[in-house]
Amino acid sequence: MTDNRLLMPELFGSDVFSEAVMKTKLPKATFKELMKVIHGDAELTLPVAEVVASAMKDWAVEKGATHYAHWFQPMTGITAEKHDSFISPVGDGTAIMEFSGKELIKGEPDASSFPSGGLRATFEARGYTAWDPTSYAFIKDNALYIPTAFFSYSGEALDKKTPLLRSMEAVSKQTVRILRLFGNNDVNAAIATVGAEQEYFLVDKKSYDKRKDLIFTGRTLFGAAPVKGQELEDHYFGTIKQRVGKYMEDLDRHLWALGVASKTKHNEAAPAQHECAPIFESANLAADHNQLTMEIMKKVALEHGMVCLLHEKPFQGVNGSGKHDNWSLTTDDGHNLLNPGKSPMENAQFLTFLVAIIKAVDEYADLLRVSVSTAGNDHRLGGNEAPPAIISIFLGDELTEIIDAIVENTDVQSKRSQFDIGISNLPKFPKDTTDRNRTSPFAFTGNKFEFRSVGSSLNISDPNIVLNTIVAEALDEFATELEKAEDFTSALHELLVRTIKKHKRVIFNGNGYDDAWVKEATEVRGLPCYPSAVDAIPHFCDEKNIKLFVKHKVFTEVEIKSRTEIQLENYCKIINIEALTTVEMASKEILPAVMEYEKTLCETLLAKKSAGIGYNVESNLASSISVLAEDLNNKIYELEAVIIKAHGITDIFEASRCYHDEVFATMQSLRAIADQLETMVAEKYWPFPTYEDLLFNV
């Protein structure tokens, strides 16, 4: 529906049934009532829904829509949709366009084929979608898309949106309690806001089509390092290639039309890697918009003869892709509660929220690790641009000194000063309160926390559900204690000092990539370390975590256990697909290519021998390749055997451990042999595009 002739202000949100559109399309009374619903001050009634549905349909039809779809986010990690037309026959061979309030409010897709983790039996198919009026409907591909929650016949959440909305309510409720203690009686709600930076790779479609691993798994299962990688650091923030620039321009226009405030675009560190980033918005909208962004990125890339790769580690040996989740809390009157202002030391309210977050992250580091645990992200955490798997907080020197001063009851003069770079015609500007630390999983960056561990393909609902809930718990404990205090000021000071002392261990401003940090974190500080998804995911079901989510009504115990099973099942399925693809490529493509090259070498060797010419080069090379080919063949049989073993394990916890410890480990050793062969076999014999072809030919 995007009209490329529109200027940017006209284009932005042109395909969205936004508040501005609703104001013009709805009767004043209906508009006011709907705004109350959106802001949580009233419940949606059917009469209001009928008026909204009629106006929404008319607007959509005017823009060329013929169908509507309840758009939801099942636990597959991607979105789902079921389309129905507006057509309604009238009995005389003609039809009219209709869309009722009931159809707007509720849908009923088949729930039996979506992951439920045992919540639903296969024959229990009924599931419901419910309109989320806080996320605007939009037009895409001649259809009206209606963002919805998705839940089962018995009421369990089957999606990502429902628990996210629950967690946002939880953190809002507890935030308001804290603000009341500081004398703020005007704020009625707090909004968890998020800005999700999205990293991605672009590869040529023709090269992509020749690689089964990219098609089936989204990453390269084989590939020797090219002679040039990212070591010159010349791609990062470098000049954007014309082909990529056209793609980015087209992508922005598609996103702007859908109301996605795409703001930043640049080259990332690895060759063929790029990033786009939006402006902050509520966590719910940010999650919806990020799902849309990933879909549109892939679609637009195909239109430009390219493929967008969102896997966390498409290429071994170069940077992986993350999705830095920038999280903050904002009041309904627009005040950022994580903005320290000019004098953080004097800002008791800011320090209260800061210390609550420190406490939350320390107590529930395991949940934060679980929220970013996938087979894909295992390749990335702890390597290159990615932070380590150990969760710690970066505050920077100034805030750390302030935290120390609170404990020691000493004064600190703010070090916030002007940058003076010694050139008279360049402006001076104030330093930020912190530097940036790209090795920290959870870094304070001025007025927000940047959760850097999130993988590029993940639905950001998961980490933000955890962030909202653990912060809600810390704020709840603070409010419960302070509400009983006779002297609020002294009680607050005592609470902050006690909390900082107890949880300061999670603050680390150094190099998270340093091996010494792992030892210090685990052996000295006692921080949890879960190197893989298989190590982390089972902790979702720890008793303290179940109590947390049940208390704040974010998850039921049944929902937690089902999601744990879904995460582990997904891990097993991904590794299984990768392993089967590894076997197929190695046995049907790599081995035949190697043998063909061996044949050529041997024929040359025999010809030289017959002619009395030296043949040491061919002899030595053929001998080395022959040994490696035999090793590769043996490793293929070994991998096939452990795949069969994993298939035979019925317990999901044992199965996931087998896939990690045996199947994946065998894949890696097989790959090492194949990658060595790639460096020895003549280029024209290698059966699929190399890293050089993929990374440098866009």
Q: Would you place residue 229 in the very low, low, confident or very high pLDDT band (cuts 50, 70, 90)?
A: confident
> Pairing relation of β-strands 306-309 and 198-204?
antiparallel
Whether residue 102 is contained in a domain is answered as yes
Q: How far is residue 538's CA from residue 53's CA, in Å, rounded to a whole number?
A: 43
- Residue 199 backbone dihedrals phi, psi, to 5 degrees: -95, 150
Q: Judge whether residue 465 has pLDDT over 90.
A: yes
Whether residue 132 is contained in a domain is answered as yes
How high is the pLDDT of residue 421?
Answer: 34
How high is the pLDDT of residue 210?
Answer: 97
Q: Judge whether residue 429 has pLDDT over 50.
A: no
Task: Please report the DSSP string for 292-342 in residue order.
Answer: HHHHHHHHHHHHTTEEEE--S-SSTTS---B--EEEEEEETTS-BTT---S
Q: What percent of the chain has pLDDT over 70?
A: 90
Tokens of 696: 């440098």
pLDDT in tens, 296-325: 999 999 999 999 999 999 999 998 999 999
Helix (H) or strand (E) holding 444: strand 442-444
> Pairing relation of β-strands 393-394 and 442-444?
parallel
- Average pLDDT in the chain: 89
CATH for 673: 1.20.120.1560
Token pair 């009995």 is found at: 91
Q: Judge whether residue 517 has pLDDT over 80.
A: yes
Q: How many domains does the chain have?
A: 2
Q: Judge whether residue 110 has pLDDT over 90.
A: no
CATH for 133: 3.10.20.70
Q: Would you place residue 446 in the very low, low, confident or very high pLDDT band (cuts 50, 70, 90)?
A: confident
Whether residue 581 is contained in a domain is answered as yes
Domain boundary among 99, 132, 159: 159
The residue among 510, 522, 515, 390 whose CA lies nearest residue 438 is 510
Tokens of 606: 């025999």
Q: Among 14-23, 49-58, 321-330, 395-404, which is the least confidently predicted range?
A: 395-404
Q: Would you place residue 423 in the very low, low, confident or very high pLDDT band (cuts 50, 70, 90)?
A: very low
Q: Judge whether residue 424 has pLDDT over 60.
A: no
For the CA atoms of 340, 346, 352, 354, the dihedral, rounded to the nearest 10 degrees, stands at 30
pLDDT in tens, 189-212: 999 999 999 999 999 999 999 999
Q: Would you place residue 615 in the very low, low, confident or very high pLDDT band (cuts 50, 70, 90)?
A: confident
Q: Judge whether residue 697 has pLDDT over 60.
A: yes
Q: Would you place residue 401 in the very low, low, confident or very high pLDDT band (cuts 50, 70, 90)?
A: confident
Whether residue 23 is contained in a domain is answered as yes
Domain boundary among 111, 132, 159: 159
Region 612-625 average pLDDT:
89
pLDDT in tens, 244-279: 999 999 999 999 999 999 999 998 888 999 999 999
Q: Would you place residue 389 in the very low, low, confident or very high pLDDT band (cuts 50, 70, 90)?
A: confident
Q: 405 or 300: which carries more pLDDT confidence?
A: 300
**275 pairs with which residues across the strands?**
199, 266
pLDDT in tens, 683-693: 999 999 999 99
How high is the pLDDT of residue 95?
Answer: 61
Whether residue 368 is contained in a domain is answered as no
Domain boundary among 116, 134, 159: 159
User: 382's torsion region: left (phi>0), alpha (psi -120 to 50) or beta?
Assistant: left
Buried/exposed code over 187-212 (b: 16+ C-beta within 10 A; e: otherwise): bebbbbbbbbbbbbbbbbeebbeebb
Q: Would you place residue 443 in the very low, low, confident or very high pLDDT band (cuts 50, 70, 90)?
A: very high
Q: Judge whether residue 431 has pLDDT over 70.
A: no
How high is the pLDDT of residue 428?
Answer: 45
Whether residue 111 is contained in a domain is answered as yes
Q: 334 or 125: which carries more pLDDT confidence?
A: 334
**308 pairs with which residues across the strands?**
202
Whole-prediction pTM? 0.92
Residue 123's domain comprises: 8-159
Whether residue 130 is contained in a domain is answered as yes
Whether residue 274 is contained in a domain is answered as no
Helix (H) or strand (E) holding 267: strand 262-267
Q: 221 or 405: which carries more pLDDT confidence?
A: 221
Task: Provide the 10 A C-beta neighbour count for residue 612.
Answer: 7
pLDDT in tens, 136-158: 999 999 999 999 999 887 788 88
